[in-house]
């Protein structure tokens, strides 16, 4: 996708993250500057996500898991505190870090176990935009460790 088209789509979807939307979702927006969306999900154990949206939405979102307190990438051991399900605590083959194992996430679709499940299957579905995918991660986090 042309970078200008990708940025336009990113900007349109990030514009949905209004103050009221963030209040309901209990997210703190840190950096919304293409291609990076940096936010913290409030939960019993808050989680910071740095989301690389380059080539969105031809490519799915690349999500890094960070500590909200110091901004460091979570280690595989620290990621275990997020619980299981979509949070995979092992090192991803490409990033070497724990990752989100869920459709819509680049680390999922590029993992050797899921390469057959192509992003194109989902990319135009309702609810698979940036706010929708982050909502899914937040829901899984709160189900695992509490709100």
- Taking contact as CB under 8 A, which single stretch among the options 3-11, 33-41, 63-71, 78-86 is the one that binds other proteins? 78-86
CB 10 within 8 A of CB 31: no
Q: Rule CB under 8 A: say whether 108 interacts with other proteins.
A: yes
Residue of 24, 69, 77, 120 interacting with other proteins (CB under 8 A): 24
Q: Where are the alpha helices (DSSP H) in the chain?
A: 3-14, 19-25, 76-79, 106-109, 130-145
d(CA 94, CA 107): 8
Q: Output helix, strand, coil percentages for the chain, rounded to the nearest 5.
A: 35, 20, 45
Q: Min. distance of Cβ 72 from other proteins in angstroms? A: 23
Residue of 37, 88, 92, 106 interacting with other proteins (CB under 8 A): 88
Residue of 1, 114, 123, 145 interacting with other proteins (CB under 8 A): 114
Q: Rule CB under 8 A: say whether 132 interacts with other proteins.
A: yes
């Amino acid at each position: 996708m042309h970078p200008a088209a990708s940025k336009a789509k990113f900007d349109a979807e990030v514009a949905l993250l209004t103050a009221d939307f963030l209040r309901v979702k209990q997210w703190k927006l840190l950096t919304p500057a293409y291609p990076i969306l940096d936010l913290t999900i409030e939960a019993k154990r808050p989680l910071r996500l740095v989301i690389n949206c380059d080539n969105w939405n031809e490519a799915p979102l690349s999500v890094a898991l960070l500590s909200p307190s110091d901004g460091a990438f979570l280690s595989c051991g620290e990621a275990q505190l997020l619980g299981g399900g979509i949070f995979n605590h092992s090192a991803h083959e490409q990033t070497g870090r724990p990752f989100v194992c869920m459709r819509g996430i680049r680390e999922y679709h590029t993992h050797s176990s899921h390469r057959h499940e192509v992003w194109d299957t989902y990319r135009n579905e309702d609810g698979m935009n940036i706010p929708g995918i982050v909502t899914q991660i937040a829901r899984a986090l709160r189900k695992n460790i509490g709100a």
